[in-house]
Chains A and B, each alone.
Chain A
Amino acid sequence: MSPMSLSFGLLFSLSGVASAQDTRIPAYDDQAPPPAAEEVAPKPKAVPAIWTVSEGTEAVLVEDHRVPEVVLVVEIPVGTYSPWLNAQHGVEAWELQMYDADGALRARADALAADLSVYCEARTCTLELVALKRDLEASVALVQDVLKNTSYDKAELKRTDQGRKIGWEGSQTDPDWRLSQTTAQLLYTEGDPRLQSYVEPEKVLRDPKALAAARDAALRLPGRRVGFAGDLTRAEAEAIAATLLPPVNTVTPADLAPAYLPLRADRPASLIEPMDNLTQIYFALMRDGITLEDPNYPAFLVANHVLGGHFFSRLYVSLRHEGGETYGAYTRGGGGATASVYSLSTFTRVENKATTEAKLRAVLTTFHEGGVTEQERIEAIGYLQGSELFDQQSPSNLLSTTLTELTLGLPPGFFVEATKRASALSTEEINTFIKAHYDPAAFSMVTVEPEP
């Protein structure tokens, strides 16, 4: 279902719920699953196996026979940040390849009771199929045929174009999206791929032949991966991986990699983004976040958790529990593959702006000056270690973590190791990082608020 369908599906959805906590608390980059340490967690149920299928193609298997189901993933090493992929409309070429003119591919997925999805993220494009084990052979054939499809449905291309336009217009009335857009525009230089989500989308290319050619070229790039999870053996996975994809091309384009531009140096101390029809003010006290490969990443994990990573974090206590200023207060971003917007975020009623802004700033100032306490450090480490259990729930969880590590060029087990490194840090070492990174002078205050 398209994003447009989803948003209007909401209108007809009866599962109206309201909850105790704002579920937007996530404090980590999407691509950085919670890490862990083996001191508390039992050994993982399955250990991912990684092998080279052929030159330019790698495979990963997480074997787990609890459920007679198989997950099959094809991942190519370019995504929405790639100038090369964008130049030839490769994103829509990848994302719309399951829409053949007569719907036969989707009908086959339905006949197999399989879930089939194709999507692109910043650094990768992925095809994922989930099916019962007994349908494995037919599922593999379906994946191959999707990757060979040349009869893109022209009507679907047109509808996708319309959907993008409507989706863009819809995002203009979402205050949280506008806040993210404004903070991104403050951090990144115009033309940086990391701004891509916040500029009006280009028209969809409606030339099936060109789209098929773009998809074929992308599929043949070296650095691609095949992932398996669930009820299959190494021998079964090896046999499938060996014949699943066409050979890689020996010559690769020069502009595959994202061309990141320097971060903006002229960031103002504060910025107001006006918006119609608001009864609240949305805050982001923001700066550039550290990256995964920063030596201070383990210290960041602890600091970030204490500041805004849970229901009784410094931000929550000050802004929600003590004064009822807001429903949610948390940190967002940071710890990504590249520098990203890192913010202390909250929202409040319009007339409460001054109080909330003062409290938000005070939390940051106190944190910068005093750092974390020994008890807070211990509790944060407990969180990082204990939450590793959640990553072990399903083989697809483990596969996803492993593919993320490989995509980002991180060593296997990076996230587990990061928690171990965090656990070894003293309170003083963490506070030295906080003193350097959380200087209030490095932060800008961005608000989305009603038009005067």
Chain B
Amino acid sequence: MISCLLPLAFAWSPAHAEEPAPSPEPTLLSETLPNGLHVTVLSDPSLPVVATQMWVQVGSAHETDSEAGFAHLFEHLMFGKTTNNDKEAYSRHHTMNGGSENAYTAFDNTVYISTIGPAWHDQVLVFEADRMRNLILDAENLENEKKIVTEELRLRTENDPVSRLLDPAFHAIFGDHPYGHLPAGTKEDLAAADLALVQKFYNGYYHPANMHLVIAGPVDGPATMARVQELFGPLGGERLVPPTIPDLASHDFPSRVLLQEDIPPIKVAALMYIGPTMRDPDYWAFKVMTEMLAGGELDAFREELVTERSKAIEAMTVAETLRSGSVLAFASINLPFRSERRAFKLLHQTRDTLTEEAGWMTQAKLDTAKRRLLRQSLERRYYAESQADALGQAYAWQGDETFAMGGASAAIDEVTLEQVQAAWLKYVVQAEPVEIFVKKGEPKAEEVQ
């Protein structure tokens, strides 16, 4: 059992010591219960509401081929009735007290979210522990949720051209990597789900050792931890360990992908590069690099391609991080006359210009990027939900929730210009990007040679 009580220093580093110290300081309490449930309590009396998040370390990437879309379907079932409570009790508790409750399924995790005034928080813990142990799973409820999720699929992925592109695009780009299918799954996947799979998820994957409970708000840390021990300590069962997701860096990506849909008459070209995981020593340099490129008002890639050269009507840099790796993409939006070959040539030229005339990669830009990241982390202090989200993600992806507080700040502050230059060289200049081309036409997603 690990337990630590530490004041969280929101001051960035000695270099930023002139920042006034916010008050009162929050405190972080962290413990792993004997049944494996990891618990984090951030006590901050300045917050008006309490956020409670249950991070389950199972997402769509952990599904086998025959289970596609099931993590998300199961997330819906978790809002069902239990042996102690009606189906609507959990939501009603939130609604009648002005709180909010929801959940989402991503590639790497499924997360259950509650935010409510402190007077009503204890009952949330009671409900949460109850549904983790006493959920009633029956065929009738499963069939109803299948219908609901199928409507969600139609809404999100079938009836809008850009959304329609997403599923085939991920298949084409990520291939057989577990990120190659979206969390929502398909209608065929949903139709095949049965109660045996439901039980596998509930009894095996929803084991305390696969979960992290995060609480952030104006709570008494030790008292809340004691209450969690009382309510969640009895949870157990036989744990099913989620499969390991291969890092994106080890995956064999196609060199070029063509996508077509009923989009407006434009052409989109993109170069996609694979970056490090958050556990990689290069990660923070890569993170700061993407912030220097595009974190502010001026996107270096856009400025070069659109403003300086007027070779596209719009351009952007997109950076995303997942547990198994990060992605950096440079994209341009072109009028219909632009050929595919020319569009990619311009993207490569622009990338080369950013290497040769690296006006974006200066010490001043580095300092600014660090300052912007500092401000973003400071802003989280206003919102219990943002704090809980950061804590949950840091533990899930880095195995250490303190990265959500001072840890990430310290790591970012240590990044040097030389490290950023090395990251650009390794992850962009010396890397082979996936070329992605999108145009108006009959729906299609295919790898092209």
Contact = CB atoms under 8 A, between A and B. Distances in A.
B104 A18 contact: yes
B234 interface: no
A21 B23 CA distance: 36
A357 to B, nearest CB: 15
Most buried by B among A134, A385, A386: A386
B264 A17 contact: no
A201 interface: no
B99 A386 contact: yes
A36 B184 CA distance: 36
Contacts of A279: 154, 158-159
Given A8-B268, A170-B263, A67 B169 contact: no
Contact of B296 (A113, A169, A326, A386): A113
Contact of B382 (A13, A23, A107, A393): A393
A387 B299 CA distance: 38
Nearest to A44: B48
Contact of A42 (B48, B87, B378): B48
Contacts of B375: 69, 113, 130-132
Given A5-B316, A11-B438, A13-B318, A110 B297 contact: yes
Contacts of A15: 106, 320
Interface in A9-51: 9-23, 34, 36, 40-42, 45
9 tightest Cβ-Cβ pairs between the two chains A and B: A386-B98, A324-B147, A387-B98, A110-B296, A106-B297, A394-B382, A113-B371, A379-B96, A327-B152
B371 A132 contact: yes
B151 interface: yes
A170 B440 CA distance: 12
B98 A385 contact: yes
A139 B87 CA distance: 51
B132 interface: no
A392 B98 CA distance: 13
Interface string A47-91: 000000000000000000111110000000000000000000000
18 contacts: A8-B314, A9-B316, A9-B318, A10-B166, A11-B162, A11-B165, A11-B270, A12-B331, A14-B320, A19-B75, A103-B307, A162-B335, A173-B161, A328-B155, A349-B151, A386-B98, A386-B117, A393-B49
B20 A116 contact: no
Kindly name the residue among B48, B268, B270, B378 whose own CB sees the greatest number of chain A CB atoms within 10 A. B48
A383 B162 contact: no
B368 A65 contact: no
B331 A103 contact: no
A163 B315 CA distance: 12
B313 A163 contact: yes
A384 B320 contact: no
Given A132-B375, A386-B98, A45 B46 contact: yes
B91 interface: yes
A260 interface: no
Contacts of A326: 148, 151
A124 to B, nearest CB: 22
A220 to B, nearest CB: 26
B95 A312 contact: yes
B418 interface: no
A92 interface: no
Contacts of B182: 16, 18
A2 interface: yes
Nearest to A20: B103
Contacts of B166: 10-11, 16
A148 interface: no
B268 to A, nearest CB: 6
Contact of A8 (B331, B364, B374): B331
Nearest to B312: A159
Contact of A41 (B117, B147, B306): B117
A390 B144 CA distance: 33
Interface in B134-182: 143-152, 154-156, 158-163, 165-166, 169-170, 179, 182
B22 A111 contact: no
Contact of B22 (A4, A68, A388, A390): A68
Name B's interface SS. Answer: mixed
B395 interface: no
A5 B314 contact: yes
B19 interface: yes
A66 B380 CA distance: 11
A308 interface: no
A324 B148 CA distance: 5
A174 B368 CA distance: 39
Interface string B95-113: 1111101111111000000
B320 A13 contact: yes
A133 B378 CA distance: 12
Interface string B383-403: 110000000000000000000
Contacts of B104: 17-20
Contacts, number: 268
Interface of B: 18-20, 22-23, 46-49, 72, 75-76, 78-79, 87-88, 91-92, 95-99, 101-107, 115-117, 119-120, 143-152, 154-156, 158-163, 165-166, 169-170, 179, 182-184, 262-266, 268, 270, 272, 296-299, 303, 306-307, 310, 313-314, 316, 318, 320, 322, 327, 329, 331, 333, 335, 364, 368-369, 371-372, 374-375, 378-379, 381-384, 436, 438
Contacts of B165: 11
A103 B299 CA distance: 11
A359 interface: no
Given A8-B331, A15-B106, A162-B313, A383 B154 contact: no
B87 A321 contact: yes
A8 B183 contact: no
A349 B154 CA distance: 8
A135 to B, nearest CB: 9
Contacts of B333: 4-5, 8
A386 B165 CA distance: 41
B90 to A, nearest CB: 9
B149 to A, nearest CB: 7
A12 B270 contact: yes
Given A19-B102, A110-B297, A280-B158, A393 B313 contact: no
Nearest to B372: A113
Contacts of B382: 66-67, 393-395
B162 A389 contact: no
A288 interface: no
Contacts of B170: 16
Given A41-B117, A45-B48, A324-B144, A4 B158 contact: no
Given A12-B272, A20-B75, A66 B329 contact: no
B362 to A, nearest CB: 11
User: Which of B20, B104, B151, B314 has the most C-beta atoms of chain A within 10 angstroms of its own C-beta?
Assistant: B151
A169 to B, nearest CB: 4
A311 interface: yes
Contacts of A45: 46, 48
A348 interface: yes
A432 interface: no
Interface string A304-338: 00000011100000001101111110000000000
Contact of A66 (B46, B75, B322, B368): B46
A7 B97 contact: no
A250 interface: no
A12 B331 CA distance: 9
Contacts of A107: 297-298
Given A159-B306, A382-B96, A67 B381 contact: yes
B268 A11 contact: yes
Contacts of B364: 111
B296 to A, nearest CB: 4
A103 B272 contact: no
B12 to A, nearest CB: 10
Contacts of B103: 19-21
Contact of B169 (A11, A324, A385): A11
A106 B298 contact: yes
B161 A68 contact: no
